[in-house]
Homo-oligomer: A and B are copies of this chain.
Amino acid sequence: MSRLMGQMMQMPLMISSLLVHAARHNGDVEIVSKRVEGDVHRYTYRDAELRARKLAQALQRLGCEPGDRVGTLAWNGYRHFEIYYGSSGSGLVCHTVNPRLFPEQIAWIINDAEDRVLCFDLTFLPLVEKLAPLLKTVQHFVLMTDRAHMPAHSPLALQCYDELVESEDGRYEWPEFDENTASSICYTSGTTGHPKGAVYSHRSSVLHAYAAALPDAMDCSGRDVILPVVPMFHVNAWGLPYSVPLVGAKLVMPGPHLDGKSLYELFESEKVSFSAGVPTVWLGLITYMKQNRLQFSTFKRTVIGGSACPPAMIRTLEDEFAVSVIHAWGMTELSPLGTLSKLKGKHDQLSVEDQRRLLEKQGRVIYGIDMKITGNDGETPLPWDGQAAGDLLVRGHWVIRSYFKRPESPLQQGWFPTGDVATIDADGFMQITDRSKDVIKSGGEWISSIDLENIAMAHPAVHEAAAIACKHPKWDERPLLVVVRKPGQTPSKEDILGFYEGKIAKWQIPDDVVFVDEIPHTATGKIQKLKLRELFAHHVLPAA
């Protein structure tokens, strides 16, 4: 039996259409960028769209063919924005590389993605010059600057980005093609094994852009001035380079200047209303503002994600700086938005304190994403009672089904296992309790390493803490706490363990504490728990 088909216009969901929309309907709205060169650059969506078309022509002239990857090592700025659209819009694939990774990892990623062109900011010229001999596929090295800032000599046959763009005439029509075509690639920086590439499509990116702008997500409108602090090499700056043109908001790009002073001045001078970034950036901003007794004039709300935001930071931003914090959760494999913490109508009845506790969770899914938690077997669904913690799985329009060049499917019955352990409450508010490989399995019960660390971090003499599982003959695993003391402080093991009393169940308190000078971190600042577990594999826990 044949179904009746709709009789609506058929047009693919194209990334180029986001910028075309902005240029046509918000043509004079500004994109303001702090440049690596030191100055501030201003132009409009109309200018950006024309330059993106010229860039598409230039990439074609360089020999790029549909599907070719264009790599970037760049800060948030207008040229990076042009590359997003000039590459994806013309059927190429934008591959943003995280310059904070170890150089060998960067080379490995560029080779794995087979980038044909590599575009990079002046900052990264020394890095690229060093890496170039390792890069097997890159045919064109494009320095993202103008003629005046090109180096006098370089071992590389450098091309000048501005010259490439300006030598084209812009007579280019954005092509329409299958919306499931790849638009961009981001690599996850896993703590083990090689990084893996998530390959986004035009369709997934446009749907994500719609959802991300919704009132219960980032709530973006044409009245906003939006500054993405989150880098464009971190999962496409959480989709803001797509959602901001979609709503026609003014876009402010901080370049490499992410210190508290630079950010504060830019927030004020450009009248920023909304931002998004990881917790550490806000720490720098808060510190600077407290030291100088400053307040924001226009900045009203921010999304914080990337890693769990400490409740104390949320309260400081809200109570001392009148900035509402939207706690969010996502991952590279989710483009990245999964959940955001926004109240429902029913929560108006809660006390402010109860509302805050709710908003400290990672929040609820936006339409387009679904989630569930399962028991150890990976199948049995767990209740949504805010108590039961299990493996978090997701599915939706902007979730990967496989990794670049990896034939094996990571999915479990169509769901993507996030590797996170979480609770979900009756209202659909999800809270991450741990990474599944970090959870401590004691006698069939799970102990959250994050909970143990958060308590230890609140101890006045603790600089950093990590909780890991140690093998135990009776309980399978028991928690061991690894602590770096603050300079000049010498808390004892008993001091630390006593600090847990009354804060969690007795059986969850670590069995032992070891003091170290340093805890190992990954290039992106995450604690290397695997390494810690190796280091303390033979640690003997005291008898209970």
User: Residues of A with Cβ closer than 8 Å to B?
Assistant: 1-11, 13, 17-18, 21, 24-26, 28-29, 65-67, 69, 91, 93, 177-178, 180-183, 198-204, 207, 210-211, 213-216, 219-225, 246-250, 335, 342-346, 348, 364-365, 367, 370, 395-404, 414, 416, 426-428
Asked whether B221 lies within 8 Å of A4 as measured between CB atoms, the reply is no
Asked whether A198 lies within 8 Å of B7 as measured between CB atoms, the reply is yes
In Å, the complex CA distance between A18 and B366 comes to 11
Contact of A215 among B2, B28, B66, B220 (CB under 8 A): B220
26 contacts between A and B (CB under 8 A): A4-B93, A4-B182, A5-B180, A5-B182, A6-B182, A6-B183, A6-B200, A6-B202, A6-B203, A6-B204, A7-B182, A7-B400, A8-B335, A8-B398, A8-B401, A9-B396, A10-B401, A26-B344, A26-B427, A29-B346, A214-B215, A216-B222, A222-B343, A223-B343, A223-B344, A225-B345
Contacts of A2 in B (CB 8 A): 66-67
The residue on B at minimum CB distance from A405 is B7
Asked whether A428 lies within 8 Å of B24 as measured between CB atoms, the reply is yes
4 other A-B residue contacts (CB within 8 Å) besides A1-B66, A216-B247: A8-B400, A24-B428, A26-B344, A28-B346
Contacts of A248 in B (CB 8 A): 216, 344
Contacts of A21 in B (CB 8 A): 367, 370
In Å, the complex CA distance between A102 and B46 comes to 50
Known A-B contacts A1-B65, A67-B1; the reply to A7 vs B219 at CB < 8 A is: no
A contact patch SS: loop
Chain B nearest CB, measured from A327 CB (Å): 16
Contact of A8 among B200, B214, B249, B370 (CB under 8 A): B200
In Å, the complex CA distance between A29 and B427 comes to 10
Chain B nearest CB, measured from A249 CB (Å): 7
Contacts of A17 in B (CB 8 A): 367
